[in-house]
Amino acid sequence: MTVDVKIGITDSSRELVVQSDQTSDEVHAAVESALSGKEQLLRLTDDKGARYLVPVTKIAYVEVGSAERPKVGFGAA
């Protein structure tokens, strides 16, 4: 199961969206560590192995949610 991570960047009208294979708890821990001042960069890896480094000073918000899509069709139960 993948997790959607949306990061708002200050001075930018767009947000960074990453689909990660990390668990929600792992992403939360990385965000909390970065925002607590322990780190200067938020480090995330997406589901394809790409790595993202976001300067903590540029983070406006972080939204962590499930990327699981609702089932649609006749067999959806």
pLDDT (tens digit, 9 = 90+) per residue, 30-58? 999 999 988 899 999 999 999 999 999 99
Is residue 77 predicted with pLDDT exceeding 90?
A: no
Q: What pTM was computed for the model?
A: 0.79
Alpha carbons 36 and 30: distance in angstroms, whole number: 10
Provide the percentage of residues in the chain whose pLDDT is more than 90. Answer: 71
Residue entry with tokens 């790595």: 51
pLDDT of residue 65: 87
Question: What domains does the chain contain, in order, with CATH numbers?
Answer: 3-66 (2.30.30)
pLDDT of residue 4: 93
Cα atoms in the 13 Å half-sphere on the side-chain side of 10:
7
